[in-house]
Structure 1
């Protein structure tokens, strides 16, 4: 790996020296980024699919109106708890499908607050320039004071909805009322009614939309039991959208049916246990499904306590996939309401947990764009979130909170450490091909390797069979780690034993696999392969590694900092080279407070435009990533004399070798003496705190200071061993 040209280094320079991107109004990309994303999509396939969806929608509308008339139903009704219920679809078995909003401090639970200015990581992330889609029972109140023109009506409809307003507020509220501040509080949101959700999302995704939030789902008391956990037509449609628009990610709420007793035939346990309650697009493979959790977060962003919320719908999916994927906090969330432009309300449920996760993911996309100049594919973003989630309860995933609680702080740190102690790679596997790489583990840490992919839509859809376990997975990729003849396998769950802990084995159902090796050490081989034949003859996948030694860069203090040449207007500074290391050199005059900085790959540089007679200080540190930096070296000081000469031709000593000096007495009265091993050639200079040299001479023997005024001075001694300084006070 060429550290001088590594991705993280490019990102470091980008974040340090380049202004933030000028984002295209609409979906948060520059024109070039938008064109690049669109160029990766199968335009003809998506155009054809959108046309198909529109035809189906027109046919469905006629049938829904006929059903409404025959049954005397309302197409839309509001429940006593404030939730909205709407007749939206007809299943392949003729079942009428009703959508409902999922009502029952998010940025803290997801650790998004650590990414803000003055947060624990102080990254200055706030969602600026990013856009999220919101589909809900209606559109949000775009004129609310919290949105300040950043919420847009995507449907041009007057159908303002309270639930949509609260979800949008949880995403982007600016914080006029501090407790109602959204997670991505400077992002934009485009709000839509759920009526044509698949059509509108497909069109928006084709135009570059990166993410949308869906805090609604199928009403659980109005479908037959076989629907629970089943991969049905709507699940297939959403998977097809995401496969053909691989930068787009759908985030949806798991639902609030845990205590509903609606599934009388769960795949595991008794009805009262609350398992097997996910429905509709929550059973798709490629989306990210969010459960609700009750959490306690410490002052350093650590998860102190957590348990699944009593309302949150539990998995599994009938084929045994890990769903829900993640958990967020949906408890007592204060947000903007639609009663007026200054009104607020509190809500509960996975409806509020989902936008907390969506907002955090949007900030991670913003951060990746700032670091590396591009956005992550949806599989990468999803994989990053699952890879860095806080593991809870039992080791590995479960059917309550998936891979754990969203942790944006850990995810951002993994991006910071990319190509140092982590790797994030977007790869592609051709039919019959195997991907392999060798890595060194970071000693004493957990080696963790994940693969994540956006899978083609499943071929089989359930049309009425109870708890059918046919896998929806189309392209079955496998990750393995091997060392010294031993093979490590990924996590997997068993839907017929849903309450038991995860085990390691051959995962046949999930489009995300993860292997963990605690206390890893030495060299390992990572292999990604596939079973059978790949649909479309290839499969893109994202590889995420942590706990690896991906760079030769070491965060040790650079050695040998010294002066080599003096020019008429500056000096040459050099130090010992180090592989794959970025150096930060800082310098200033002795009297200045602010340091000037240079970032350098080379191990020498010229400091120009120096002022003759001024005393300068220079220091140096190593940088491996934003979060992996060394301490600064000891400072060297010199008086610039404006002469062209070679300064040091002798061997330089390492820091700590006979470089310290002291003077006595201190405070001084009439004279001082230097306590150090000095040659006959040693010279001294006495410098004021303003940087002016007022006395110099031979350093051997007593130095007369009787003529100095009372105050603090710097004694600088120059000898074959280098330049050393100390301070003394003249009384």
Structure 2
């Protein structure tokens, strides 16, 4: 047999003799999954590959020892004895090989290789790396039983058959989830949080950022970087955007302001997909790390998922936040949800971990974008758990969530003087999220839209509980439900021990949440169908016992007043005898209406189109109105707005004023707090001299003054105030080249910070914007001068070099406060040559400012002009055109002393080394002599 027959073909040939038919009369063609996972050797794994005609259901699969699902119809089972009813749906049973220990993507790669090939793989192992056989270990992780190894394909079956091999995967590379920087903090209620809790800024917190290095010179990130031994060597704009969303100072303007503005950032390279070492987090004091990257669609519980679950379970207070991915329109190629486009498409096995927080994206209309990756997880868990604003990708959604998490941890520390457990933070964030789409969770938006201010209020109101349960026991937590409560919501969360790679279900310690009210009603948590069909995965949530998730939530509409008992029952603890858990709850008042955006004191940009946001349990429709005169008059914005929609678009008027919003229904109305409207001021640089800077801007109606800010240290600080729209300032007053202007209303309040400019990068210099000398067709010269500003300029002089001195050709008086900053003088030299011009400005204080020298060449009625004659050190040749020209210098004896091609319209030739005397310059076009001139070389 040819040694190059692929392994795939060997599978096919031998498989024909090893297939067990359920019915002798039934023959089906061998499919690709059978080719890859059915045994073709004399040493099967002891497991069975069973093909069903339809998905048989979780109960039957678990009953027969489900080890792994390869598709809705193909499953690896530990035993394959079926009763007569079950057997009706069994198509075939095969002895399984050991490829079920491998990721499906790796098995696909292996099936294309030849026997003489080798492959690098990532191996999860038992015992020690030294006991691995049939491979060559290359590099091992220090904290996890994972090694990169080289395997020969002829040894593949023996290698995977080892008991010491738990799971084998491809080597994968991280890549950023595409993001277009477009921060919109109002969607996640960050603005309201900043307004109501201004002391929460992330001070003394260090946030981990796992990807490439961010730009530490960006003025929004100055001083943010904490030295890190794990930082990447390359700077990536994506990392800079993520860092800005998390902790930007806002020096460049409002869009550059992050969530936790005083937080520090520690960078680690994402080329290591496994978690960073525990000591890295301990030494840096990091309790949250952002992961805005992915690999490919990986629908299994792999080595990284195990490692992240293990790390969080060990460190307990460390929370890893992942973007769900930007492949939401794709379909898994393996697993229970194989072939279902738009579902189960998280981008990376690390996002299949139980103890992490996975965040999807949402747009301004509360819609989950098509490309935002969706759940369920490989085993049916509800993923993503939350959504946050991510118009162009889930990277920014994750980064925003990381910033909010930092403030939630800070708020918890303020109240309880300890760092919260990661599971507690998850309970807080999930419970305070706003339910969107259908009632209850779903596989697109998880448990809802992140609500920053509601999360912090949960902590401030101490609506939290932590406890422990042992196997078979129940913890009971009484909670009072006030009157007029529209909705009671309770969330249970716990850090679950890590399972082993490639399991069919990740949950080990199974806790059950239930709530009983004081009239005897009992409520179970929300569940979603896990059946692999589109109509099942989009079905509304229902109540039931949850045996998959380590996040469970109960919500009750119009709950009974009085005490409810929250029950946490430890149904099964597969690891350990005690499980710690965390609970958060909230009671939303029946008559509540809260303006979320704009918040009190919010700075709105005049002319923008924004989404006004509110939060209320009220239904029906209302009319949204605006007032710029403290409520004396109201201007309708929109009518018949569904209150349950929670937002409406508004074109902000182009005014400089305080404002109010009002929502009105037939029987009541709700008025917002005051907010500010102003236009950001754009700065023009008038001139930029070594010691003085002049800037100007367009005046703002109703502004009584303007505050000038410059960058001092790491943040913008006020440097001066003026009532004019032109500012002349000494550079000695400025600590940096960055400036911004804020208008001050006549009533004394400051408006919106304008964009920050680096005046050194505006292309404007001291007085002169441009000086040009142009030769016209009549051999006249136009000398044009454009000033940056005529401020303090008395007179303009045009000058030409004559001999060794500049002489004045003409002058022009400047009209004070004139708007025309351009002037022109026409010169008529009258002969051929190179002419040098400059412009001199006479200032009002008597000083003179000179422009750079401009040169032009003129040839009148001739093609070539050679000068100066006589010459001592060099000659210059001017040409009116270019062609196949050759220049040659000869002495009076006819000897050639110099020759070269003529390639430029102005050429300068050194005469160094030539003896004094008379020479002839000749120019040839091809072989024809077209120019001759005698010149004298004098002594140097």
User: TM-score scaled to structure 2, two decimals?
Assistant: 0.43
Using the alignment, how far apart are the partners of 1:437 and 1:173 within structure 2?
A: 40
- Secondary structure in 2 aligned to 1:400? coil
Structure 1's unaligned 5+ residue stretches are 1-50, 68-89, 221-226, 296-304, 332-347, 463-469, 550-731
Q: CA deviation at 1:161?
A: 2.1
- Secondary structure in 2 aligned to 1:158? coil
Q: CA deviation at 1:199?
A: 5.0
Using the alignment, how far apart are the partners of 1:133 and 1:277 within structure 2?
A: 22
- Secondary structure in 2 aligned to 1:437? strand
Deviations 1:626-662 (A, max 9, x none): xxxxxxxxxxxxxxxxxxxxxxxxxxxxxxxxxxxxx
Using the alignment, how far apart are the partners of 2:342 and 2:273 within structure 1?
A: 32
**Mean alpha-carbon deviation: is it higher for 517-526 or for 153-162?**
153-162
C-alpha contact (below 8 Å) 1:431/1:534 kept by paired residues: no
Residue 185 (structure 2) pairs with residue 145 (structure 1):
no
The verdict on how the C-alpha distance between 1:320 and 1:373 changes in structure 2, with shifts beyond 3 A counting, is same
Residue 270 (structure 2) pairs with residue 194 (structure 1):
yes
- Secondary structure in 1 aligned to 2:515? strand
1:448 corresponds to:
489
Using the alignment, how far apart are the partners of 2:543 and 2:146 within structure 1?
A: 47
Residue 589 (structure 2) pairs with residue 544 (structure 1):
no
Using the alignment, how far apart are the partners of 1:323 and 1:386 within structure 2?
A: 12
Deviations 1:571-603 (A, max 9, x none): xxxxxxxxxxxxxxxxxxxxxxxxxxxxxxxxx
Q: CA deviation at 1:471?
A: 2.1
Question: Which one of 403, 418, 440 corresponds to residue 359 of structure 1?
Answer: 403
2:390 corresponds to:
330
Residue 520 (structure 2) pairs with residue 479 (structure 1):
no
Using the alignment, how far apart are the partners of 1:106 and 1:185 within structure 2?
A: 15
1:266-665 correspondence runs (5 A): 267=336, 271-295=340-364, 305-331=365-391, 348-418=392-462, 423-445=463-485, 446-459=487-500, 461-462=502-503, 470-483=504-517, 484-496=519-531, 497-520=536-559, 521-547=561-587
The verdict on how the C-alpha distance between 1:486 and 1:357 changes in structure 2, with shifts beyond 3 A counting, is same
Q: CA deviation at 1:368?
A: 1.8
C-alpha contact (below 8 Å) 2:464/2:582 kept by paired residues: yes
Q: CA deviation at 1:531?
A: 1.2
- Secondary structure in 2 aligned to 1:189? strand
1:112 corresponds to:
190
Q: CA deviation at 1:94?
A: 4.2
C-alpha contact (below 8 Å) 1:318/1:495 kept by paired residues: no
C-alpha contact (below 8 Å) 2:342/2:374 kept by paired residues: no
Using the alignment, how far apart are the partners of 1:393 and 1:236 within structure 2?
A: 32
1:713 corresponds to:
none
1:232 corresponds to:
302
Deviations 1:652-711 (A, max 9, x none): xxxxxxxxxxxxxxxxxxxxxxxxxxxxxxxxxxxxxxxxxxxxxxxxxxxxxxxxxxxx
**Mean alpha-carbon deviation: is it higher for 275-284 or for 182-191?**
275-284
* Number of residue pairs matched by the alignment: 427
Deviations 1:557-583 (A, max 9, x none): xxxxxxxxxxxxxxxxxxxxxxxxxxx
C-alpha contact (below 8 Å) 1:428/1:538 kept by paired residues: yes
- Secondary structure in 2 aligned to 1:457? coil
- Secondary structure in 1 aligned to 2:455? helix
Using the alignment, how far apart are the partners of 2:242 and 2:145 within structure 1?
A: 26
C-alpha contact (below 8 Å) 1:102/1:215 kept by paired residues: yes
Using the alignment, how far apart are the partners of 1:196 and 1:387 within structure 2?
A: 33
C-alpha contact (below 8 Å) 2:174/2:273 kept by paired residues: no
2:256 corresponds to:
180
Q: CA deviation at 1:189?
A: 0.5
Using the alignment, how far apart are the partners of 1:534 and 1:263 within structure 2?
A: 30
Using the alignment, how far apart are the partners of 1:186 and 1:474 within structure 2?
A: 39
Select the structure that is richer in helix.
1
Using the alignment, how far apart are the partners of 2:401 and 2:470 within structure 1?
A: 33
C-alpha contact (below 8 Å) 2:249/2:261 kept by paired residues: yes
Select the structure that is richer in strand.
2
Using the alignment, how far apart are the partners of 1:548 and 1:294 within structure 2?
A: 25
- Secondary structure in 1 aligned to 2:274? helix
Q: CA deviation at 1:113?
A: 2.0
Q: CA deviation at 1:111?
A: 1.4
The verdict on how the C-alpha distance between 1:451 and 1:273 changes in structure 2, with shifts beyond 3 A counting, is closer
Structure with higher Rg: it is 2
Using the alignment, how far apart are the partners of 1:262 and 1:447 within structure 2?
A: 36
Residue 288 (structure 2) pairs with residue 215 (structure 1):
no
Q: CA deviation at 1:102?
A: 0.6
2:58 corresponds to:
none
RMSD value over aligned CA atoms?
2.7
- Secondary structure in 1 aligned to 2:473? coil
Question: Which one of 228, 244, 248 corresponds to residue 318 of structure 2?
Answer: 248
Deviations 1:135-181 (A, max 9, x none): 01x22122322112112342355322222222112111111112121
Q: CA deviation at 1:535?
A: 1.7
1:95-106 correspondence runs (5 A): 95-104=170-179, 105-106=183-184
Structure 2's unaligned 5+ residue stretches are 1-138, 154-164, 590-940
1:53 corresponds to:
141
The verdict on how the C-alpha distance between 1:533 and 1:271 changes in structure 2, with shifts beyond 3 A counting, is closer
User: TM-score scaled to structure 1, two decimals?
Assistant: 0.55
Q: CA deviation at 1:545?
A: 2.3
Residue 273 (structure 2) pairs with residue 164 (structure 1):
no
**Mean alpha-carbon deviation: is it higher for 94-103 or for 155-164?**
155-164
The verdict on how the C-alpha distance between 1:270 and 1:535 changes in structure 2, with shifts beyond 3 A counting, is closer
Using the alignment, how far apart are the partners of 1:501 and 1:269 within structure 2?
A: 22
Q: CA deviation at 1:404?
A: 0.9
Q: CA deviation at 1:184?
A: 1.3
Q: CA deviation at 1:437?
A: 2.9
Using the alignment, how far apart are the partners of 1:146 and 1:273 within structure 2?
A: 37
Using the alignment, how far apart are the partners of 1:373 and 1:391 within structure 2?
A: 31
Higher RCO structure, 1 or 2 (CA under 8 Å, sep 6+) = 1
C-alpha contact (below 8 Å) 1:237/1:457 kept by paired residues: yes
The verdict on how the C-alpha distance between 1:58 and 1:144 changes in structure 2, with shifts beyond 3 A counting, is farther
1:575 corresponds to:
none
- Secondary structure in 2 aligned to 1:204? helix
Using the alignment, how far apart are the partners of 2:312 and 2:491 within structure 1?
A: 20
The verdict on how the C-alpha distance between 1:201 and 1:310 changes in structure 2, with shifts beyond 3 A counting, is farther
1:3 corresponds to:
none
The verdict on how the C-alpha distance between 1:522 and 1:56 changes in structure 2, with shifts beyond 3 A counting, is closer
Using the alignment, how far apart are the partners of 1:177 and 1:91 within structure 2?
A: 51
